[in-house]
């Protein structure tokens, strides 16, 4: 078996999502816990890939499912398309998570007649690492820079946005932004002990913005 590539991952994600949308699963009947559904789909997709490719072990310490590709898999319901990810640094809101995301968005239905649950995979979206920063934060920074803003303006903006940083780190980030303007991210990243990632915007923009691909 060959080692998996990004192209392989996206191709197989499309095939898998089509097949899974037709599958009736008894163990999912009556399940409303999104985490349990996510775990089921993540494990099933990984097993599917292992039958076809050589995979490295996932890196739970970094929270990355496919470290050889620098891709993390996220599974979320269309009712509230969001998930959590490990908090490393406030820099992730500005410069991105540091890895790409493959997002499965499902709608779950139960069949009371045969006591099974079905996951209709509505969207499969690949978000390149270059687009994994926070939309409002990066948009605001770009506006400041385009309006000839300086370091003080950036620091004031960090404070207004309640960026979770101390003064020293904020100072370092502002200097880096002036040297290296960030791109626009398309996630909504909420402050918490873990980042809360929200995907409504990437669902809308997939296929219309560079590096955000609609796989299905």
145 and 75 within one domain:
no
54 and 69 within one domain:
yes
107 and 19 within one domain:
yes
For residue 53, list its beta bridge partners.
Answer: 2
Q: Give the pair of three-digit tokens for residue 159.
A: 């404070």
156 and 126 within one domain:
no
Q: What is the DSSP letter of 59?
A: B
50 and 143 within one domain:
no
Give the span between the Cα atoms of 52 and 4, in whole angstroms. Answer: 9
**pLDDT of 56:** 82
**pLDDT of 62:** 55
Give the span between the Cα atoms of 209 and 201, in whole angstroms. Answer: 11
40 and 15 within one domain:
yes
Q: Give the pair of three-digit tokens for residue 152.
A: 């003080």
- The gap from C-alpha 81 to its chain's centroid, in whole angstroms, comes to 10
- Tally of CB atoms within 10 A around 205: 16
Is position 187 within any domain?
A: no
47 and 144 within one domain:
no
Please list the ranges in the chain whose pLDDT falls under 50: 61
Is position 164 within any domain?
A: yes
Is position 192 within any domain?
A: no
Q: Which domain holds residue 157?
A: 135-179
139 and 72 within one domain:
no
What is the total count of domains within the chain?
Answer: 2
For residues 188 and 135, is the Cβ–Cβ distance under 8 A?
yes
Share above pLDDT 90 across residues of the chain, in percent, rounded to a whole number: 88
Is position 151 within any domain?
A: yes
CATH of the domain at 74: 3.40.210
Is position 21 within any domain?
A: yes
27 and 54 within one domain:
yes
113 and 23 within one domain:
yes
Q: Which residues contact 8 (CB under 8 A, 6 or more apart)?
A: 53
For residues 141 and 176, is the Cβ–Cβ distance under 8 A?
no
For residue 105, list its beta bridge partners.
Answer: 76, 123
- Tally of CB atoms within 10 A around 136: 13
**pLDDT of 1:** 84
Is position 199 within any domain?
A: no
**pLDDT of 17:** 97
Give the span between the Cα atoms of 128 and 215, in whole angstroms. Answer: 12
- Enclosing H/E stretch for 136: helix 135-146
Is position 88 within any domain?
A: no
Is position 94 within any domain?
A: no
79-131: pLDDT as tens digits:
999 999 888 889 999 999 999 999 999 999 999 999 999 999 999 999 999 99
122 and 68 within one domain:
yes
Q: Which residues contact 39 (CB under 8 A, 6 or more apart)?
A: none
57 and 25 within one domain:
yes
Residue carrying the six token digits 């303006």: 153
**pLDDT of 28:** 92
Q: Which residues contact 161 (CB under 8 A, 6 or more apart)?
A: 136, 137, 140
**pLDDT of 88:** 86
């Amino acid at each position: 078996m060959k080692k998996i590539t990004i192209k392989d991952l996206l191709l197989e994600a499309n095939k898998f999502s089509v097949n899974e949308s037709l599958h009736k699963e008894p163990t999912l009947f009556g399940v409303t816990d999104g985490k349990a559904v996510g775990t089921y789909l993540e494990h099933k997709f990984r097993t599917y890939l292992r039958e076809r490719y050589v995979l490295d072990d996932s890196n739970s310490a970094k929270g990355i499912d496919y470290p050889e590709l620098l891709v993390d898999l996220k599974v979320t319901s269309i009712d509230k398309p969001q998930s959590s990810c490990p908090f490393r640094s406030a820099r992730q809101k500005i410069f991105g998570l540091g890895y790409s995301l493959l997002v499965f968005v499902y709608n779950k239905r139960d069949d009371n007649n045969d006591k099974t649950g079905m996951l209709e995979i509505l969207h499969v979206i690949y978000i390149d690492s270059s687009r994994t920063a926070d939309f409002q934060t990066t948009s605001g920074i770009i506006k400041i820079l385009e309006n000839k803003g300086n370091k003080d303006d950036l620091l004031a903006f960090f404070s207004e946005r309640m960026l979770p940083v101390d003064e020293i780190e904020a100072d370092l980030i502002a200097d880096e932004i002036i040297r290296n303007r960030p791109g626009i991210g398309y996630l909504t990243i909420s402050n918490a002990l873990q980042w809360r990632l929200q995907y409504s915007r990437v669902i809308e923009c997939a296929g219309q913005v560079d590096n955000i691909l609609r796989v299905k």
